[in-house]
Structure formats: structure tokens, C-alpha cells
Amino acid sequence: MAGNNRVLARKWIYLCLSLLMLFALFAGILAIKSTTKTAAIFASENKEAQADSTPGESNQQREQEPKDPNQKKAPRPDHKHLAFGERVEERAQMVTMQIEKPFDIRTPVRDPNVLKAMRIVPRHAFVGPAEQRLAYADHPLPIGYDQTISQPYIVAFMTEALKLDPNDKVLEIGTGSGYQAAVCAEIAQEVYTIEIVEELAKSAKERVKKLGYPNVFVKAGDGYFGWPEKAPFDAIIGTAAAGRVPPPLLEQLKPGGRMILPYGSAYGFQYLLLITKDQKGNLHRENVMAVRFVPMTGEISKPEKKSEE
């Protein structure tokens, strides 16, 4: 009897072990199938994410790919400098309270590319040590040589007026510390900027290079004459006031382009003048905002020559 019980016990043990092995094999097969299915789902989600990317993201991806295999990719800001990681919350607050949702009669700036650029560019890196604590205040700041860095709202407003896209080439008249050029360079492909004060041009050139803006090109010179070697430009921006628009700048503006600059007397009324050139070369002018800028110097200060009849 005892022997029969032992035989029966062995049979049950073998049966249990066989069932356990079959269960383990079945579980392994299920795990492999589940992993394959998950990988397929991830691959599908990745494709859907690419298909659902925003137009801006899609445009950026296309623009980074050169049309010609032999064409080099356009350089872009690298944002590796430590300044980009500093005072981020102050910049965000500046954009929200001064630019996107100002608490006064100012027209809000809505262009997402402009708002993003204003959040990225470290304004404190474009002012001297004495002005550091006020770098994100709602007013212009001195940068030496009787020049100023413009109020953040004005920088954003003028940039938005240009309606920049990633393929644009921009000319700036009046580099100053380089802040406006850097903001434009976050959106446009290339920015060419001219500063009549040699010391400012030199320091701005060093600053934008140090901050990682390979698409900003600075030279010392009289902005009245523009930069004919690099013309035509999709957009032109001026940061010093004059009583007339320099004719070379109008010539260097591409058909379909836009120009904005402060217009008026150095010590009197000034306003931002928006000039658009249609595809036929006709110019259209619009006064958009009262402002106060430092005067443009150089050739513009000479009496205007009357054309001979």
C-alpha cells in the first residue's frame, strides 16, 4: 500500500512539473508577442507624432535640410553660453507683463516667434555691470557713447512688424550692443548690422560671437549707405531716428520686403515708420507708433542735396 502511494505521489509531482513547464513556455511566448506589439505601437506613435508636428516645426526641419546636396546648412544660434540659462524667469515675466499682455494702451505682441526670441535672448548680457539689475526693466538703458539699448517692448514690436521667417536676410542700422540683432537672428537666417561708433561695433561683434550667434555679421560704418554687397534684404530695421529715409536703404529693400525705422526730428516728434515694397517696387508708408530714439548720425545729418532739373 505504501509503495502504491509513493508511485502515485511521483506521478502527481511529474504532472505538476510538466504543467509548470508548459505554463512557463506559454508565458514566455506571450511576453515576446507583447514586446513586439509594444515596439510596433511606439513606432506607430512616432510616425503619428511626426505627422502631427506643427507647421513651424515642419518648416524648421525642412529649412535645416539644404535644398542642394552641396549647399551648407545655414548657421543657427547654439545657446550654449551660460547667460542663456540665467535669469530665465525674469525674461519670462518681462515677456508676459511688458510685451504679450501689457497693462496699458500698448498693442500686445502676438507673433509666437518673436515672443520665443524675447524669452531666449539674455538681455542682461547686452548691458554693462551697472545696468545688470535693471536689464529686464520696462525702459531703455545706456550702453555708452550716448547710445542706448531699446526698451524690450519696442524691440519686440519692431521685430514683429518685419514679419520675419527663417529664410529672411535682415539689415539693421545701428547695432548698439547687439541686442536687437540677436533677437532677429533667433528667427531670420542672417542678420547684417552696421554701427557708426567703432567702439560699439567692435564690442558688439565680440559679444554676439561669444554668445554663439554665427548668423549675425557686424561691421563699423555709416548705416546711411546700407550694405550693398549683401543686398537685397527681405527686411530692414533702423534703431536711430532721422528726418528722412536714406535712399540707399530703399534701393536695398527686396520687392515684397518690409522696413521699419524711427522717423522724425532728433529733438522733436518721432514715430515708427513702416515701409513696404510691393512686387512692382512701389513703396507704401504707414506711421505706426510715437517713439523716442537717439538721432542717426553721419551722412544723414548733412543737408539733403536737391536733384538738378
pLDDT-based confidence at residue 16 (cuts at 50, 70, 90): low
Residue 171 has pLDDT above 80, yes or no: yes
pLDDT-based confidence at residue 5 (cuts at 50, 70, 90): low
3-state secondary structure the chain: CHHHHHHHHHHHHHHHHHHHHHHHHHHHHHHHHHHHHHHHHHHHHHHHHHHCCCHHHHHHHHHHCCCCCCCCCCCCCCCCCHHHHCCHHHHHHHHHHHHHCCCCCCCCCCCHHHHHHHHHCCHHHHCCHHHHHHCCCCCCEEEECCEEECCHHHHHHHHHHCCCCCCCEEEEECCCCCHHHHHHHCCCCEEEEEECCHHHHHHHHHHHHHHCCCCEEEEECCHHHCCHHHCCEEEEEECCEECCCCHHHHHHEEEEEEEEEEEECCCCCEEEEEEEECCCCCEEEEEEEEECCCECCCHHHCCCCCCCC
Residue with the bigger pLDDT between 300 and 84: it is: 84
Q: Tell me which of 193-197, 270-274, 276-280, 294-298 is least confident.
A: 294-298
Residues involved in catalysis: 150
256-267 per-position pLDDT tens digit: 999 999 998 877
Mean pLDDT value across the chain: 84
Query: Smallest Cα–Cα separation from 216: which of 121, 87, 83, 88?
Result: 121
Grid coordinates belonging to 288? 505706426
Res 261: pLDDT: 96
Do 264 and 244 form a contact (C-beta atoms < 8 A)? no
pLDDT-based confidence at residue 304 (cuts at 50, 70, 90): confident
**CATH second-level architecture of 82-301?**
3-Layer(aba) Sandwich (3.40)
32-61 per-position pLDDT tens digit: 444 444 333 334 334 433 433 333 333 343
Give pTM, 2 decimals: 0.76
What is the C-alpha separation between 225 and 214, in angstroms, rounded?
24
Domain ranges for the chain: 1-52, 82-301
- pLDDT > 70 fraction of the chain, expressed in percent and rounded: 75
